[in-house]
Amino acid sequence: MAATPRVSAVIFDLDGTLLDTERATRDVLNEFLAAYGKVPDKEKEERRLGQMYRESTTGIIADYGLPLTVEEYAEAIYPLYLKRWQKAKPLPGVERLVKHLHRNGVPLALASNSVRRNIDHKLLRLEDWKDCFSVILGGDQVPHGKPSPDIFLEAAKRLGVNPSSCLVIEDSLVGVQGARASGAKVVAVPSLQSQRQRYSIADAILCSLLDFHPELWGLPPFEDRIQGALPIEPLFLNAQIGHAISKSLHMVIAGNSTYEYVPDQISGIFFGWAKLEAGGVSRTVISIGWDLSLRTVERVMHIYFLDSCRKITTEEPLKLLLVGYIRKLQTTENISQALTITAEDQTIARDALNLPVFSEYAKLENGFSPGMPS
């Protein structure tokens, strides 16, 4: 950015931006439609991302020929969603950012296309920091939902600021469109990696909020990095060793549990601990990205072993515990180049993993945390 745009308030979307509700509820529609002998259409469901609830529901009923009214559909599927919402977790970097802005007196609002009743249920997962938001708005509290600017204009009004002084953080295209129409600045954190190119109208596009730098928007900067490393909520992966790229660098083949434990927004250079099947534990640096050159967008991971391990074999089971973040990938054009783990990355990880905030995870001889998938 040539000049620092100054904002005085921040407005967040909820689903797919603050909470990983979309991933937590992906199987709900499958389960519901199966009772009618139907299977979800992936392209149609991706286009529904961010829509108002009534618009989305009406579309689902029409697309799959369901013998239900909107009200009957809502009543039948609501308990399935309610159960899954309780399992949704904050997305990477979210709690850090929200608490940081609140501590520094930045007015915060939450503006979601969800109806207010649903928002309140989802916020039960955020009870320790939901009070950071002085304004909470649902799509049923304004005349028109996103991509209309109504909800952002109302949020700015209730915050007591001009919309042009607001920064909106959104994951959906309709949300980005509505925010731009309101006159606000917009940071997009797309939920679907395959659609990143569609977000060009945003002022900035990030993979996750771990890459958000408040000072670029005239907001107080973070001061929580430790020797170049950022502590993160631990992420667990089951995986296998892929082919060797060099002596200490290998491809990683993600296991099925990666889908459950590692959000799609995770991208960049991370570090932590690896446990090989035969019992060897090593400090590691892991680069994670998405190969957008393929027809099917795929997650790609490289792992660098910082400690001397016995001979590592292809397809050997591997458990990973990621505890820190270093930086974003430098390019998205060439995935092999983007995933390069530099000597500086290795040094930062080595030094960080000797510090108490990270070394507490070193006691892994008897297996990882009980939360680790088996």
> Known catalytic residues?
13, 15
> Cα(127)–Cα(149) distance, rounded to whole angstroms?
28
* Residue 173 · residue 50 · CB < 8 Å: yes
CA nearest to 354, candidates 222, 234, 227, 210: 227
Give, as one character, the DSSP assignment of residue 15.
Answer: B
Give, as one character, the DSSP assignment of residue 145.
Answer: -
Tokens 């915050």 sit on residue: 159
Packing angle of the helix pair 70-85, 26-34 (nearest 10 deg) = 130
Strands, DSSP E only, in 112-174?
Answer: 135-137, 166-170
CA nearest to 31, candidates 81, 72, 93, 71: 81
* Residue 54 · residue 118 · CB < 8 Å: no
Q: How far is CA 249 from CA 172, 307, 319, 350, in A?
A: 36, 12, 16, 16
Task: Give 29-34's long-range contacts (Cβ < 8 A, gap of 24+).
Answer: 29/60, 31/80, 32/76, 32/77, 32/80, 33/64
